[in-house]
């Protein structure tokens, strides 16, 4: 990755017409960054986290040739972190998570998340610690995005999409 120019993406809440810009952390999570970059653009229904606090995310079918290793891991994401998680459908396919209509056992899902405020802890009462790969950091527009994320939490996510695309 030496000598590589910084790469940027735009992360958007489509219906709310709010976008922030993030720099890929190619130096810390090169395999994950390459997998995401090569798969852009990506968009899906947005969810607001129940357990991690200040997180929005979308779920996608696997898009990497092989799932990235746990590079640049965290269980305490900070505002502006973009994280990558991989889950087996059986881990999410219960009514407790609210995906029971969309997620089935035997599937794998990729969760691309944006953390927009402080005091996040990736601890799930069912499975314990859930480390994520930090692959990007918001460098512009986080304050406006955080306001939109709070609105999403209070007003609901129905009909809203989370989009990732090259800047």
Instruction: Give pLDDT tens digits for 5-53.
Output: 999 999 999 999 999 999 999 999 999 999 999 999 999 999 999 878 9
pLDDT class of 88 with cuts at 50, 70, 90: confident
Region label for 125, one of left (φ > 0), alpha (ψ between -120 and 50) or beta (otherwise):
alpha
What whole-number distance in Å separates Cα of residue 112 and Cα of residue 42?
Answer: 10
CATH 2.40.100.20 fits 8-166, yes or no: yes
Q: What pTM value is reported for the model?
A: 0.92
The domain segmentation of the chain, as residue ranges, is: 8-166
Instruction: Give pLDDT tens digits for 69-83.
Output: 999 999 999 999 999
| pLDDT in the model for residue 101 | 55
**Torsion over CA: 50, 53, 58, 63 (sign):** negative
């Amino acid at each position: 990755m030496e000598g590589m120019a910084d790469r940027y993406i735009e992360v958007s809440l489509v219906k709310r017409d709010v976008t922030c810009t993030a720099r890929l952390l190619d130096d810390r999570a090169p395999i994950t960054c390459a997998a995401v970059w090569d798969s852009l653009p990506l968009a899906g229904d947005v969810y607001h986290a129940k357990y991690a606090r200040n997180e929005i995310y979308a779920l996608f079918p696997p898009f990497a040739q092989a799932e990235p290793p746990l590079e640049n891991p965290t269980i305490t994401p900070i505002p502006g972190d973009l994280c990558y998680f991989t889950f087996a459908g059986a881990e999410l396919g219960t009514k407790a998570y609210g995906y029971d209509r969309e997620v089935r056992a035997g599937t794998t899902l990729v969760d691309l998340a944006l953390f927009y405020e402080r005091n996040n802890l990736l601890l799930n009462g069912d499975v314990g610690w859930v480390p994520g790969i930090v692959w990007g950091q918001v460098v512009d527009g986080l304050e406006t995005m955080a306001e939109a994320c709070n609105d999403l939490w209070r007003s609901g996510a129905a009909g809203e999409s989370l989009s990732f695309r090259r800047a």
